[in-house]
């Protein structure tokens, strides 16, 4: 029986036999008014998915990094919920037409658990965000965002700290936690003063994960 790693290798090879595309920071990959041109695998870089509120503000839904596949739900249902997908930095993608992607999965059912794991993770993140937005203070929401993304994109440092290796702007965090940029900036500065985090070269470093978790 193929291991999860082997299954991922099969999926990776399939994508890399198709079209490679590169995007600059801030460039739109999928517009909300258009059907996606296919299913994408992130070779390197970061892609954020967001909707726009009626006030013209971003509502950040999810961020995917290297190895991420999107849009997952659209490939099966045809519905991408008017979501915009945008490169957060210089990003390289592999694109497969929807029909070929579905045909591949039909012929290689062993790969489905890999896709299912991604879908479950996206659903879990969405559920956590709904709970966070409903019941937590602005500070708790910011901390929850940082803890979650340290799990997803964290790199352990020798001193025990964790660098969130993703190009988040404060506006991205504010968008995700449903707070103003001013409130988000104030909470981040408070966490820095407490010694919980630091910001170096635009990357957030978690210095005291235990204290952060204790707040939640």
- The pTM of this model reads 0.90
Residue pair 145/176 in contact by the 8 Å Cβ criterion: yes
Q: What is the pLDDT of residue 1?
A: 42
Q: What is the pLDDT of residue 116?
A: 87
Residue pair 94/16 in contact by the 8 Å Cβ criterion: yes
Residue pair 123/117 in contact by the 8 Å Cβ criterion: no
Residue pair 73/46 in contact by the 8 Å Cβ criterion: no
Beta bridge partners of 110: none
Residue-by-residue DSSP string for 118-177: HHHHHHHHHHHHHHHHHH--HHHHHHHHHHHHHHHHEEE-TTS-EEE-S---HHHHHHHH
Q: What is the pLDDT of residue 66?
A: 94
Q: What is the CATH number of domain 4-110?
A: 2.60.120.10
* Range 136-215 classified under CATH 1.10.10.10: yes
Over its length of 216 residues, how does the chain's per-residue pLDDT go in tens digits?
A: 444 455 578 899 999 999 999 999 999 999 988 888 899 999 999 999 999 988 888 999 999 999 999 998 888 887 766 899 999 999 999 999 999 999 999 999 888 888 888 888 888 888 888 888 888 999 999 999 999 999 999 999 999 999 999 999 999 999 999 999 999 999 999 999 999 999 999 899 999 999 999 998
Q: What is the pLDDT of residue 78?
A: 75
Domain-by-domain residue ranges, the chain?
4-110, 136-215
């Amino acid at each position: 029986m193929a291991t999860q790693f082997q299954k991922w290798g099969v999926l990776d090879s399939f994508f890399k036999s198709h079209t490679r595309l590169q995007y600059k920071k801030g460039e739109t990959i999928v517009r909300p008014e258009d059907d996606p041109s296919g299913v994408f695998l992130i070779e390197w870089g970061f892609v954020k998915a967001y909707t726009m509120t009626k006030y013209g503000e971003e509502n950040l839904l999810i961020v995917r990094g290297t190895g991420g596949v999107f849009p997952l739900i659209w490939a099966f249902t045809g519905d991408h919920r008017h979501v915009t997908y945008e490169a957060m930095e210089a990003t390289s993608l592999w694109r497969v037409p929807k029909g070929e992607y579905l045909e591949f999965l039909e012929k290689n059912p062993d790969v489905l658990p890999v896709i299912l794991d991604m879908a479950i993770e996206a659903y879990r993140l969405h559920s956590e965000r709904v709970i966070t937005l409903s019941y937590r203070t602005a500070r708790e929401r910011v901390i929850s965002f940082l803890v979650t993304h340290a799990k997803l994109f964290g790199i352990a440092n020798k001193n025990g700290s964790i660098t969130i290796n993703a190009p988040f702007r404060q506006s991205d965090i504010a968008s995700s936690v449903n707070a103003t940029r001013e409130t988000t900036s104030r909470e981040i500065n408070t966490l820095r003063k407490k010694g919980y985090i630091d910001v170096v070269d635009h990357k957030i470093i978690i210095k005291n994960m235990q204290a952060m978790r204790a707040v939640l």
